[in-house]
Amino acid sequence: MKRTFTTLLLLLCITMANAQGIINHPATGKTTTQKKQGTTPAKKDKSGTTSSARRSIPRPTLGTSNYTPNVRTFRVGDVEFEMVEVRGGTFMMGATSDQASYAFPDEKPVHQVTLSGYYIGRTEVTQELWQAVMGSNPSLRKGDKRPVEQVSWNDCQTFISKLNSLTGKRFRLPTEAEWEFAARGGVKSRGYMYSGSNTPGSVAWYTENVDYETIDVGSKLPNELGLYDMSGNVWEWCSDRMGSYSKSAQTNPKGSQVGSGRVFRGGCFANIARGCRVSNRFSTGPDLRRIDVGLRLCFSK
């Protein structure tokens, strides 16, 4: 009788303790000490600088384009890079209806452009590719897979000339029209505001999801052609001089014949979403180096 009473009393105590949350039962295979979610231990970059205050960057699963593009792979030393085919077609360039509510005056008037087919880089030129060609890396925010930055338009011409000598190819910067057509998804375009989506955070690194940093290329979702980072991360030089648009239809336009400013497109890590739209355009002098401007390669078929 005494043993029965003691057993019942013990069971009652255990039941009351569980109800109050005093007794914890760790899940199988886990210790009671868990890391806090969202925190990252302090790390040192290559320069030895501790980066404990840096925001932990999410790495989404890479998406796929809505068709399988023709891709050509090239190599300089140990560095490979890919060029994606953009089939020729006709599109409306500038502040189309998907862009109009946020457009700037220099994105107008909307005009028809017809382009022949070409190839364009799947990503921006990386720092490792620039290093392989030029023997140096001018970028402020170092990282082999990050886009190269702090390169002027003229620097890009020197880089491309050396790259062509090494590969025997004829790489160049894209024209502004070629850049926009590719960013819109070419003949596979779905009419998005940004390159690959109407939700900037899914395809672009910009002020809402990165702390004034460049990020490894290809870390967001691609657009309809399988191209990465045509919205956000770094601006990208085009071959054109900056000039006003014409209303007339054009075929393979090369941009203005006058003026010194050179166009760059796509927005960057320091822009709000509006700056990362596919029709947004900006320009500066060909000798100016900026920490938010890089390049993407192109070549004609």
Q: Is the model's pLDDT at 128 over the cut of 50? A: yes
Structure tokens at 7: 């057993």
Give the three-class secondary structure for 138.
coil
What average pLDDT score do residues 119-142 get? 98
Give the closest residue to 141 by CA, choosing from 276, 275, 262, 268. 268
- Give phi and psi for 113, each to the nearest 5: -130, 135
pLDDT at position 67: 58
| CA torsion, ordered 174, 233, 99, 153, to nearest 10 deg | -30
Give the closest residue to 254 by CA, choosing from 176, 161, 152, 179. 176
Give the three-class secondary structure for 179.
helix
CA atoms of 235 and 103, how far apart (whole Å) = 17
**Exposure string (b/e) for 93-103, b if CB count within 10 Å is 16 or more?**
bbbbebbeebb
Give the three-class secondary structure for 300.
strand
Give the closest residue to 233 by CA, choosing from 144, 289, 173, 294. 294
What average pLDDT score do residues 41-69 get? 41
Residue by residue, DSSP assigns 216-235 as -TT-S---TTS---SSSSSE
**Lowest-confidence pick of 1-15, 67-81, 150-164, 180-194:** 1-15
Q: Which range scores top for mean pLDDT: 28-32, 48-52, 215-219?
A: 215-219
- CB distance 292 to 235 below 8 Å: yes
pLDDT at position 15: 39
Q: Is the model's pLDDT at 225 over the cut of 90? A: yes
CA atoms of 173 and 83, how far apart (whole Å) = 13
The pLDDT confidence band at residue 167, using thresholds 50, 70 and 90, is very high
The pLDDT confidence band at residue 69, using thresholds 50, 70 and 90, is confident
The CB density around residue 276, as the number of other CB atoms within 10 Å, is: 28
At how many degrees (to 10) do helices 127-134 and 153-167 cross?
70
Which residue is it, tokens 């890919």? 82
pLDDT at position 39: 31
What average pLDDT score do residues 289-300 get? 98
Q: Is the model's pLDDT at 2 over the cut of 50? A: no
What average pLDDT score do residues 183-188 get? 97
Percent of residues, the chain, with pLDDT higher than 70: 77
73-79 long-range contacts, Cβ below 8 Å, gap at least 24? 74/167, 74/169, 76/129, 76/132, 76/133, 76/163, 76/166, 76/167, 77/132, 78/132, 79/126, 79/128, 79/129, 79/132
> Which strand (E) or helix (H) includes residue 130?
helix 127-134
The pLDDT confidence band at residue 114, using thresholds 50, 70 and 90, is very high
The pLDDT confidence band at residue 63, using thresholds 50, 70 and 90, is very low
The pLDDT confidence band at residue 144, using thresholds 50, 70 and 90, is very high
CA 56 to chain centre: 17
Q: Where are the beta strands (DSSP E) in the chain?
A: 71-76, 79-86, 89-93, 111-115, 118-121, 235-241, 250-251, 262-265, 281-284, 293-294, 298-300
pLDDT digits (tens, 9 = 90+) for 256-294: 999 999 999 999 999 999 999 999 999 999 999 999 999
Give the three-class secondary structure for 10.
helix
